[in-house]
């Protein structure tokens, strides 16, 4: 089963994708994580993308389509792909459809995670992420353990993202409403869209996703 988690910054895409990886052996494809990894490795593409990401703007379509294309062609789908933060534009959505067809896969569901802006700002400004394994923390709902060690991998390298500040977040939200929200209509028209309440607790959101996938 291949699914898209669609939602604004802070909607909980990464949090829920990680649960699906653990529970269903699915493969999380987060273009944001992949771009941050390229930046960490110091590749030319990673450096260029990093500047754009810090501002909160979208990285060019051809870059992210290229990244996803490489992974799909490598073909390790496990229990299915979770597209987290991809596609983000209509051009990316068209490209994903073509890429899936090329590798003989289908898209089974698009889950729109709906969360209001006020909650997004609160979540994002409270977030921290383990640099080593990607485990997500939140000052209010899932604080960093007192010993500073990641509960998942034991690393002490838990950091705030450079784009998790109010100014970049405003740009990210604008990009979401302008470029990404048209995908809601795009997938609704195809009959793939399911909308869930992303404001609920993490467990309740997981339950809603599970029933949407049934
Ligand atoms: P990306 O990394 O995808 O960031 P984003 O879309 O802005 O989303 P986030 O990762 O910030 O939020 P999330 O929905 O994963 O929430 P999370 O689970 O962490 O992209 C970053 C940048 O890369 C983009 O701005 C762009 O520049 C570039 N990029 C990436 N993909 C691209 C593409 N396809 N095209 C072009 N450019 C691209 O949760 C957030 C916080 O809330 C956490 O602290 C968490 O603990 C908490 N939380 C989660 N769920 C709940 C809940 N139910 N209740 C309470 N708190 C919760
Ligand atoms: Mg994320």
Output the residue whose Cα is nearest ligand 1's atom 2.
Answer: 32
Question: Does the annotation count 214 as an active-site position?
Answer: no
| Sheet with 158-159, edge to edge strand ranges | 136-138, 127-130, 158-159
CA distances from 133 to 38, 78, 156, 213 (A): 15, 19, 11, 26
Catalytic residue from among 36, 39, 88, 123 = 88
Output the residue whose Cα is nearest ligand 1's atom 20.
Answer: 32
Catalytic residue from among 41, 161, 190, 214 = 161
Phi, psi for 194 (deg, rounded to 5): -130, 130
pTM confidence score: 0.94
90 lines ligand 1 (CB under 6 A): no
Question: Does the annotation count 172 as an active-site position?
Answer: yes
Output the residue whose Cα is nearest ligand 1's atom 45.
Answer: 138
Predicted confidence (pLDDT) per residue in 82-133, tens digit: 999 999 999 999 999 999 999 999 999 999 999 999 999 999 999 999 988 8
Predicted confidence (pLDDT) per residue in 144-195, tens digit: 999 999 999 999 999 999 999 989 999 999 999 999 999 999 999 999 999 9
């Amino acid at each position: 089963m291949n699914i898209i988690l669609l939602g604004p910054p802070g909607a909980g895409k990464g949090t829920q994708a990680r649960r699906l990886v653990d529970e269903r052996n699915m493969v999380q494809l987060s273009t944001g994580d992949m771009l941050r990894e390229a930046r960490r490795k110091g590749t030319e593409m990673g450096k260029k993308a990093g500047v754009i990401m810090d501002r909160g703007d979208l990285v060019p379509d051809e870059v992210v389509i290229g990244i996803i294309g490489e992974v799909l062609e490598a073909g390790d789908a496990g229990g299915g792909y979770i597209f987290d933060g991809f596609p983000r534009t209509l051009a990316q959505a068209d490209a994903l459809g073509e890429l899936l067809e090329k590798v003989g896969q289908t898209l089974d569901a698009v889950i729109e995670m709906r969360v209001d802006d006020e909650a997004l700002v609160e979540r994002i400004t409270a977030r921290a992420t383990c640099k080593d394994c990607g485990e997500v923390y939140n000052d209010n709902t899932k604080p960093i353990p007192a010993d500073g060690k990641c509960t998942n991998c034991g690393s002490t390298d838990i950091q705030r993202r450079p784009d998790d500040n109010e100014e970049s977040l405003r740009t990210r939200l604008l990009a979401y409403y302008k470029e990404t929200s048209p995908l809601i209509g795009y997938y609704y028209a195809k009959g793939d869209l399911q909308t869930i309440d992303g404001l609920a607790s993490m467990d309740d959101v997981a339950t809603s996703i599970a029933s949407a996938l049934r």
